[in-house]
């Protein structure tokens, strides 16, 4: 079963912004520590992260948060000269206040390598190993990121000395760490239509089944994914009468964010769950046909609208549905097992369902019949048998004129619930269309063939179809070689 998320109003943007901030001025915390027993202390500072992740919700964007604790490693050829996971504190102006003094090796020619990370993990000493390698450390973001402090604690950064990576010492200068973000920031901008609110209170925004754990290679700063899917609470947003009075717009906008580990989001994934104050739940899905790679150091922005997340329920069960119209409608498409399945996308008058030619003469000839409903060229009759057949132009006109159409998701699939005059309903999934081997507009719109040839304007080149999106329902002609969905009908007994 395939799922879709998205409409013409939903957008997804991945943005990568390079930092251009200057190194902060040194403070008294950065004064050189006096040598001990002839050994020279190493002084550290930091340059701002080399990768920032957007201007909205600027958490750890251009400067590290004051008070943030980092872990510093200094490696030398002699193990007893190494410093493992020494704590330092960010002072907010470019300095790192060492909580333990770190020294150069006593041999002046010995190679030295240093690197740092944040936020500090107490357990990341030499005894903490992954697969026997104590350079590999496991990091897990917090599942409750509804406050800024939790987001910062989940924001993994890594650094090595700016300009060089090997032995940048033996000078009077401060060793500057150049930090970079390793994880992905997800920002959700939620448009809340006022007419959809029935109660004031808290709106909960959650990110669903997202991988929250990764392995950091301390030597290289590379991050590997660990499969630990969990629900992350992004925000609990207060909604009050003052929100309605503060704007004349018909909608209210709220924004929140979370940090996740780099990962691949596949089509149909349930991404976000929005719970309204009255307990109503909305689910947003990854668009069909779209894979998103959450890359470290990038921000991915999602614009969501409550009206685009209507969940359709109470679809009438059974194979043959009486909507109170002149014919009964099937509950599923040709080629589908369930009402929410797309089924096949077929060329007009192709009873085999396998043609992908873009030549109209293949469907079925240069001189097609004017009406194929119930004939040999009718794929509904060919695949289902009995008295099932393709709907005519008249049937689609009746379906549009006499029924109520509601756009939303049914079992995670975008499409329209059509409710007939008698209260019964069917669901038409928005399966898009096919040109040759390429499928287009899945989840955005549905295209359904009628059995009727267009004889008025196309001189037999086109057939009549019904197409719909979130806001439109139209019947018009289209080239016969396009692959469309087919929803069978049956005469009433």
Considering only residues 155 and 110, tell me which one the structure prediction assigns the higher pLDDT.
Answer: 155
Full DSSP string of 345-409: -B-TT-TTS------GGGSS-SS--SB-TTSTT-HHHHHH-TT-B---HHHHHHHHHHSEEEEEE
Same domain, 332 and 442: yes
Where among 136, 159, 181 does a domain terminate?
181
Residue 153 counted as domain residue: yes
Residue 1 counted as domain residue: no
Among 181, 151, 130, CA closest to 294: 181
Residue 163 counted as domain residue: yes
Where among 268, 289, 309 does a domain terminate?
309
CATH code for the domain in which residue 137 is found: 2.60.40.2620
**Residue 310: is its pLDDT beyond 70?**
yes
pLDDT of residue 70: 93
Whether omega before 119 lies within 30 degrees of 0, making that bond cis, reads yes
**Residue 33: is its pLDDT beyond 50?**
no
Residue 150 counted as domain residue: yes
Among 335, 331, 312, 334, CA closest to 321: 331
Residue 261 counted as domain residue: yes
pLDDT of residue 108: 63
Beta bridge partners of 116: 72, 159
**Residue 9: is its pLDDT beyond 70?**
no
Same domain, 298 and 337: no
- Classify strands 446-453 and 438-440 as parallel, antiparallel or unpaired: unpaired
pLDDT tens profile 349-372: 999 999 999 999 999 998 899 999
**Residue 133: is its pLDDT beyond 80?**
no
pLDDT tens profile 339-354: 999 999 999 999 999 9
Same domain, 237 and 372: no
Distance CA 243, CA 62 (A): 31
Q: What are the tokens at 154?
A: 């989940």
Residue 3 counted as domain residue: no
Same domain, 218 and 159: no
CA angle 79, 84, 86 (to 5 degrees): 140
CATH code for the domain in which residue 236 is found: 2.60.40.2670
Residue showing tokens 């580990």: 261
pLDDT tens profile 453-476: 998 765 668 999 999 988 789 999
Percentage of the chain exceeding pLDDT 90: 48
6 within 8 A of 73, measured Cβ to Cβ: no
What is the band of 80 on the pLDDT scale with cuts at 50, 70, 90?
confident
pLDDT of residue 308: 75
Same domain, 163 and 197: no
Same domain, 353 and 252: no
Sign of CA dihedral 324, 327, 328, 330: negative
pTM of the model: 0.63
Tally of domains in the chain = 3
Same domain, 77 and 139: yes
Where among 284, 309, 334 does a domain terminate?
309
Same domain, 350 and 397: yes
**Residue 156: is its pLDDT beyond 80?**
yes
Same domain, 177 and 281: no
Residue 213 counted as domain residue: yes
Q: What is the mean pLDDT of residues 11-39?
A: 39
DSSP letter at 396?
Answer: H
**Residue 43: is its pLDDT beyond 50?**
yes
Residue 374 counted as domain residue: yes
CB-based contacts of 431, cutoff 8 Å, min separation 6 = 333, 342, 343, 345, 442, 446, 447, 485
Same domain, 372 and 260: no
Q: What is the mean pLDDT of residues 398-410?
A: 92
For all residues of the chain together, what is the average pLDDT?
83
Percentage of the chain exceeding pLDDT 70: 84
Distance CA 355, CA 363 (A): 9
pLDDT tens profile 258-306: 999 999 998 778 899 999 888 888 888 887 667 889 988 888 888 888 8
**Domain span at residue 390?**
320-491
272 within 8 A of 226, measured Cβ to Cβ: no
What is the band of 409 on the pLDDT scale with cuts at 50, 70, 90?
confident
116 within 8 A of 137, measured Cβ to Cβ: no
Q: Any idea which of 143-157, 201-215, 235-249 has the lowest mean pLDDT?
A: 235-249
pLDDT of residue 206: 96
pLDDT of residue 477: 93
Same domain, 33 and 173: yes
Burial of residue 279 (number of CB atoms within 10 Å: 0-12, 13-18, 19+): exposed
Same domain, 143 and 119: yes
């Amino acid at each position: 079963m395939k799922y879709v998320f998205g409409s013409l109003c939903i957008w997804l943007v991945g943005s990568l912004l390079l930092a251009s901030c200057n190194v902060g001025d040194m403070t008294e915390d950065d004064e050189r520590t006096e040598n001990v027993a002839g050994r020279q202390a190493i002084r550290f500072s930091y340059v701002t992260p080399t990768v920032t992740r957007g201007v909205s919700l600027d958490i750890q964007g251009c400067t590290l948060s004051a008070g943030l604790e980092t872990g510093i490693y200094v490696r030398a050829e002699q193990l007893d000269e190494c410093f493992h996971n020494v704590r330092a504190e960010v002072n907010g102006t470019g300095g790192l206040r060492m909580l333990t003094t770190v020294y150069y090796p006593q041999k002046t020619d010995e190679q030295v390598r240093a690197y740092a990370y944040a936020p500090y993990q107490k357990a990341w000493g030499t005894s903490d190993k992954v697969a026997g390698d104590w350079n590999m450390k496991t990091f897990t973001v917090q599942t409750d990121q509804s406050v800024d402090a939790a987001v910062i604690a989940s924001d993994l950064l890594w650094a090595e000395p700016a300009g060089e990576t090997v032995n940048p010492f033996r000078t009077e200068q401060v060793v500057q760490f150049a930090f970079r973000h390793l994880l992905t920031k997800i920002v959700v901008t939620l448009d809340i239509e006022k007419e959809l609110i029935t109660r004031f209170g808290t709106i909960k925004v959650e990110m669903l089944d997202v991988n929250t754990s990764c392995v950091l290679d301390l030597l290289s700063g590379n991050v590997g994914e660990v499969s630990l899917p969990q629900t992350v609470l992004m925000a609990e947003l207060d909604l009050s009468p003052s929100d309605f009075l503060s704007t004349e717009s018909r909608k209210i906008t709220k924004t929140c964010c979370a940090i996740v580990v780099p990962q691949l989001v596949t089509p149909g994934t349930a991404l976000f769950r929005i719970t309204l104050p009255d307990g109503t739940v909305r689910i947003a899905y990854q668009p069909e046909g779209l894979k998103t790679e959450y890359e470290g150091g990038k921000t991915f922005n999602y614009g969501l609208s409550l009206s685009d997340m209507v969940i359709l329920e109470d679809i009438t069960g059974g194979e043959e549905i009486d909507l109170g119209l002149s014919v009964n409608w099937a509950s599923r498409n040709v080629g589908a097992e369930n009402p929410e399945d797309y089924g096949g996308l077929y060329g007009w008058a192709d009873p085999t369902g396998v043609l992908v030619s873009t030549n109209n003469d293949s469907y079925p000839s240069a001189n097609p019949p004017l009406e194929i409903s119930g004939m040999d060229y009718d794929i509904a009759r060919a695949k289902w048998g009995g008295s099932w057949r393709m709907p005519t132009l008249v049937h689609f006109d009746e379906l549009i004129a006499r029924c109520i159409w509601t756009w939303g998701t049914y079992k995670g699939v975008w499409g329209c619930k059509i409710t007939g005059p008698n209260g019964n309903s069917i669901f038409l999934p928005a399966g898009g269309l096919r040109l040759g081997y390429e499928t287009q507009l899945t989840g955005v719109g549905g295209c359904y063939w009628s059995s009727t040839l267009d004889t008025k304007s196309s001189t037999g080149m086109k057939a009549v179809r019904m197409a719909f999106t979130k806001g439109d329902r139209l019947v018009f002609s289209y080239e016969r070689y396009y692959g469309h969905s087919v929803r069978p009908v049956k005469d009433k007994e």
